[in-house]
Structure 1
Amino acid sequence: LYGGKVILVDGTYDDVNRLAYLLVDTAEVGIVNVNLRPFYVEGSKTMMFETVEALGWRAPQHIVVPMASGALFGALYKGLHEFETFGAISDADTVFHGVQPIGCSPISTAFEKGAEDVTPVRKPETLVKSLAIGNPGDGIYALNVARKTGGTCQKVSDNETVEAVKLLAKYTGIFAEPGGAITVAAVKQMRENGVIDAGDEVVCCVTGAGFKVDEVVEQVSGPAYVVPARLDKILETLQTNQPLSH
C-alpha cells in the first residue's frame, strides 16, 4: 500500500529474526523490533495505559497476554508501574498471565519447570505463527514478571485456539488471528483449572486481527516475495521488482 516490498523467508520465525539482525548491519534499513526495539517497547506499553483508562483509572485484577518474544509482557508491566509512579493509579497489583501455543512454548515450559533460563524450541510446530518464536529474546523478563506478580504462564493447543477465534467472532464480532484469540482460550483453561474464579476481573489482550491471514493480505497488497533463508537473496530482492524463485 505504501510502496514497500513484502518478503517471505523460506524458514522459521527464528530464521527471519536472525536475518533481520544481519540485515540492519548490512543495509541501511530500520527494523522495528531490532534496531528500533526501544521505541517498539515504549509503544507497546501504551496498551496498558488505555486499559487502565478504560477501567476508570485503576489496574485490572488479572491480565492475560500472548507471548512470542515476551517483549509485550514486560512492556505492559512497565506501563502499569509507570502509571503508579506518576500517581495516575493508587496501586499496581495486577496479576500477569502469559500464554503460548503448546507447539512453541519455551517461556511457559520454563515457568512450569521452575527454571531460571528459557530453553529454545528448535522447530516450532503450531498454526499460531505469530507466536512461533522458539528463542524468545525477552523470555527471562517475562518469567520474572509472571513470578513477581503471582501469575502464570499457560500453554494452549491449536484446536483450543481455533475455537477461541470462533468464539470471539460469534459473541463479540471481533475477527482475531490465532495469536490474539489465544488469550481467550487461556482464560477458559485457567477457569477450568481454578487459576481464576467466577467473578474475577480478567483483561484479555487480543493483539492480532484476522486480516493478518495471508490470503486476505495478498488480495490487498499483491503477491509476496519468497526467498531462501539467505541474506544475499534478501538484498537481491530489495534491489529488484521481480519475484525470486528458488
Structure 2
Amino acid sequence: MRRKGLASMAVQTVASTSPTDSPTDSPAGSSGSAEPSLGAAVALSCRECGTRTALGPHFVCLECFGPLEVAYELPAGDPAGLRERIEAGPASMWRYAPLLPVPADVAAKPNLNPGFTPLVQADRLAAELGVTGGLYVKDDSGNPTHSFKDRPVAIALEAARAFGLTTLSCSSTGNLAGAVGAAASRAGLRSCVFIPDGLEQSKVVMAAVYGGDLVAIDGTYDDVNRFCSELIGDPLGEGWGFTNVNLRPFYAEGSKTLAYEICEQLGWRLPDQIVIPVASGCQLVKIDKGLRELIALGLVEEKPYRIFAAQAEGCAPVSRAFKDGSDVRPVKRPDTIAKSLAIGDPADGPYVIDICKRTGGAVDDVDDAQIVDSIRLLARTEGVFAETAGGVTLGVTRKLIASGALDPALSTVVLNTGDGLKTLDAVAPTARPSAVIAPSLAAFRDAGLA
C-alpha cells in the first residue's frame, strides 16, 4: 500500500508547538513520567495524519498506524548566528546538536562522536565519467565503526539514556550491529544485536568484538526484523531500546546530519544532485528532511535539488516499483553481494519514490558485476575503498549519466556509506597481485612492470 506524500513534513519539523498540537498522553509502557530532555525535540508526530505523541520509545501512531518522527521547535530567525554557532562546534555531528533530539551537553557524554567526515572533491572520477559540474564523494567510511550507521546509533543512544533503557539492540544487515555494539560498550550499556545468518565474516567479527551478545537468526533480514518486533512486545524485551524499531524516530534523525555536513562543506550551498543508496530507505528520507530544514531555517539559499536512489539488482523493490509505476512489492529472497542493502521489504520505500518524483530524480539498480567494477573505479581514481553499498551508488550514478537522467553539468554528490574492508570477499577475486616474481631486477623487468 502506498502512503501519502511528504508535503507537510518540513513544516512539522520547524513549527512551534501550538495548543492544538499538544502531544497526546504517552501510550502504555512509556519509561518514566518526567519529560526527557532531548534538545529542540518537543513531540513525536505521525508522518501520515499529524497526530502528536509525547516523546518516548514509540514508533507507530496509535491513530492510523503511520510512522512517527521527531517534531521540533528549531532555532529560527538568526541564520547567520546559527551558522557561526555550528562552525564553532566540535568536529563531529554534535556541531548540529541544536537541530537534533539530543541534550545540549551531548558532546561531553561518553559516545563515539561520529560525523563530519570528508567530502571528497572527485576530479579524477569526474573526468572518467564526463561530469563537468563538480563531483563529490561524501565518504562516511571514516566513522568510528567505518559506516554511516554510527550517526543514527549515536542519536538512538541518547534517546535510550533519556528513557532509562538499559539494553541497546537492533536488527541488522551487519553495519548497524557493529555500530550498536561499539556505542553500547562506550556508554556502559548492555548490547544484544540480531543479524541474519550468513553475513560477511568481517561484519560478524566487528559486531561481536565489543563484548555484547550477537545472535544470528536462520532467515533473511526481514525475518530478523519481525522477530525483533515480537521481542519488543514481550516481557523479555522490557527495558530494551531497539535502535531501528522502538527508537526508530530518534535513530532516523541521525541521517539528517549527512545533509547538514554536505551543505556546510559546500560552503552552505545545496548540491544540485545527490545519489543515495537505499536499503530501508530511511537514510534518503532523512537526508531530504535535513535539506528542507536547512532551507526553512535560512541556512542555505533555496533552489531546486534532485535526489536519486540506488539499489542492487538482486534486491531492488523500490527501483522496480519506480520503473513500473506500481506499489513496492517485497523481495522474499534477496540475492546480491551488497548485503547491507538486502532489505526485501523496505519500510520507507514508498516515501523514497515520492521524494525522487517530487525532486525530479529517479531510482535505478545495478548488478553485482557493475558493483564490483564501480568499487574498483572509485578506488583507482580517488583512493576511496568503498564497501558494496558504495559500489551500488557509484554504479547507479554511472548508469544515470549514461541514460541522461543525471545531468553531468550540475554539481553531484555521491554517498559512500561504508569501508571496503568490510566487504573484501566481493572484490577479492578481481584484486590480486599483478605478478609473482623472483626477488631480482631481471624478474621484475621480465614481468613488464619496470
- CA pair 24-114 structure 1, distance change in 2 beyond 3 A: same
**CA deviation string 1:164-187 (max 9, x = no partner):** 111122222222110122111111
Aligned residue number for residue 107 of structure 1: 318
Aligned residue number for residue 407 of structure 2: 197
**Structure 1, gaps ≥5 residues long:** 216-246
CA contact (8 A) 1:64 1:96 kept: yes
Query: Which of 147, 150, 160 is 2:357 aligned to?
Result: 147
CA contact (8 A) 2:222 2:343 kept: yes
Letter of the 1:212 partner, please give it: K
CA distance in 1, matches of 2:304, 2:275: 14
Letter of the 1:140 partner, please give it: P
Q: How does 1:11-160 map onto structure 2 within 5 Å?
A: 11-26=219-234, 27-28=237-238, 29-115=240-326, 117-160=327-370
Aligned residue number for residue 397 of structure 2: 187
Aligned residue number for residue 417 of structure 2: 207
* Farther off after superposition, 2-11 or 103-112: 2-11
- Off by >6 Å, runs of 4+ in structure 1: none
Q: Shift in Å at residue 16 of structure 1?
A: 1.4
Aligned residue number for residue 215 of structure 2: 7
Q: Shift in Å at residue 212 of structure 1?
A: 2.6
Q: Shift in Å at residue 36 of structure 1?
A: 1.0
1:60 is paired with a residue whose SS is coil
* Farther off after superposition, 192-201 or 70-79: 192-201
CA distance in 1, matches of 2:265, 2:391: 20
**Structure 2, gaps ≥5 residues long:** 1-208, 426-450
Larger % of helix: which?
Answer: 1
Aligned residue number for residue 239 of structure 1: none
CA distance in 1, matches of 2:288, 2:272: 13
Letter of the 2:291 partner, please give it: L
CA distance in 2, matches of 1:22, 1:164: 39
CA distance in 1, matches of 2:359, 2:401: 18
Letter of the 1:80 partner, please give it: L
Q: Shift in Å at residue 201 of structure 1?
A: 1.4
Q: TM-score by structure 2 length? A: 0.46
CA contact (8 A) 1:81 1:92 kept: no
CA distance in 2, matches of 1:18, 1:135: 11
Q: Percent identity?
A: 43
Q: C-alpha root-mean-square deviation of aligned residues, in Å?
A: 1.5
Letter of the 1:203 partner, please give it: V
Query: Which of 141, 154, 161 is 2:371 aligned to?
Result: 161
CA contact (8 A) 2:389 2:417 kept: yes
1:81 is paired with a residue whose SS is helix
Aligned residue number for residue 218 of structure 1: none
CA distance in 2, matches of 1:18, 1:180: 27
CA distance in 1, matches of 2:246, 2:416: 26
CA distance in 1, matches of 2:336, 2:323: 19
Q: Shift in Å at residue 92 of structure 1?
A: 4.6
CA distance in 2, matches of 1:47, 1:61: 15
Structure index of larger Rg: 2
**CA deviation string 1:72-97 (max 9, x = no partner):** 11100000000000000111521000
1:11 is paired with a residue whose SS is coil
CA contact (8 A) 1:190 1:196 kept: yes
CA distance in 1, matches of 2:343, 2:301: 36
CA contact (8 A) 1:49 1:79 kept: yes
**CA deviation string 1:107-126 (max 9, x = no partner):** 111110112x2111111111
CA contact (8 A) 2:365 2:392 kept: no
CA contact (8 A) 1:69 1:139 kept: yes
Letter of the 1:158 partner, please give it: D
